[in-house]
Structure 1
Amino acid sequence: MFKSVRVALAAIAAGLVFFSVPVSASEVILTVDGKIASPQPVDMSIADLEALEHKTVVTKTPWHKGDTTFEGVLLADLIDHLGARGETLSVAALNNYYSEIPVDDLRRFGVILAYKQDGAYMPVSDKGPLFVVYPFDAHAELLNEVYYARSAWQVRSITVE
């Protein structure tokens, strides 16, 4: 009995470590497919995303206390970089949450795909490694459930439709 408890506790501890450790710079954390220039899905690492111009957004969110600083790539720049031609981004999270983001939102609001929060890479246990962030404080019309629902975290893939 004690052995099975030790095994269960070790498994839980290993899971907690996985969910709290940031990913390595070369590990694939995002796959983008659909209506992009590449005929194959494009796998990207943190290093790939950081090679693109980054943007910082300071905003309040419903999930954080006070102002939070997010750093990442403008989603508009990312889809331009990949030669995307669609009207909607279907975003899938590690926990199988899905959101749909109109491409018009990307330029209109300056939506970012954040990989850092308050200067640190985001672990899976804290909405990482990638989080769709709208600049909520910059546009009053963003302060509603429609835009909150589009702000997926633990993003693993984006399909351009």
Structure 2
Amino acid sequence: MVVGFFKAQALIIGMIVGLIILLLVNWATADAGSYEKLSVYHANDAGAVHITTLDRAAFRALPQTTLITTNPWYEGPQRFEGVLLRDFLELNELPMTSLRLIALNDYVVDLEISEVEANDFLIAVLHNGEEMSTREKGPFWLIVPDTYDQEANKWKMIWQLVRIDVKL
């Protein structure tokens, strides 16, 4: 009877260890594709209509720009590569007056189109030549150039960007 008890106990421990391993593998790979898409919606009074969704590969196929700039999260100049926000919006050919950018954690940044057109805001996918994971503010991070008053506007540098709502 004692032997049966130990077998049952070993079986339960084995199941728990297996479950822990499964959870760790799932957690470790969750960053690899779950949030690597950027969607654009046309928002109006009736709601939001989906326009397009791009994964990282499709986004990288667009004309890329390199921006070397400083920002409050890193020391010294940093190299970011991606698509200028104004160029990205021109691809969608929608009339617009403002944007709402939404992050994975539901953080929101509202921008006027005049501000976007006048500045080199970059939707970055590479930082110093490396893809950014969600743990590294990626995969899409809106970078504000240092020619723009970063200290006053650092709240606009939305990371883990997953959605852009284009407003009329």
Root-mean-square deviation over aligned CA pairs: 2.5
Which residue of structure 2 aligns with residue 33 of structure 1?
Answer: 41
SS at match of 2:138: coil
Which residue of structure 1 aligns with residue 120 of structure 2?
Answer: 110
- From the superposition, tell whether residues 12 and 112 of structure 1 become closer, same or farther in structure 2 (CA, over 3 Å): same
Aligned mate of 1:160, from 140, 162, 166? 166
- From the superposition, tell whether residues 5 and 113 of structure 1 become closer, same or farther in structure 2 (CA, over 3 Å): same
Q: % of aligned pairs identical?
A: 23
Letter of the aligned partner of 2:118 in structure 1?
A: R
Regions of 4+ moved over 3 Å: 1-6
Q: C-alpha separation between the residues in 1 aligned to 2:36 and 2:140?
A: 12
Structure 1: gaps (5+ residues): none
Report the TM-score when normalising by structure 1. Answer: 0.80
Aligned mate of 1:15, from 12, 27, 49? 27
Q: When the two structures are aligned, how many residues end up with a matched partner? A: 151
Letter of the aligned partner of 1:123 in structure 2?
A: S
Report the TM-score when normalising by structure 2. Answer: 0.77
> 1:86 offset after TM fit, Å?
1.4
Of structures 1 and 2, the larger Rg is shown by 2
Q: C-alpha separation between the residues in 2 aligned to 1:84 and 1:153?
A: 24
Contact 2:40-2:50 at 8 Å conserved across structures: no
Which residue of structure 1 aligns with residue 151 of structure 2?
Answer: 143
Which residue of structure 2 aligns with residue 69 of structure 1?
Answer: 79
Which residue of structure 1 aligns with residue 106 of structure 2?
Answer: 96
Structure 2: gaps (5+ residues): 1-11, 44-48
Higher alpha-carbon deviation: 75-84 or 93-102: 93-102
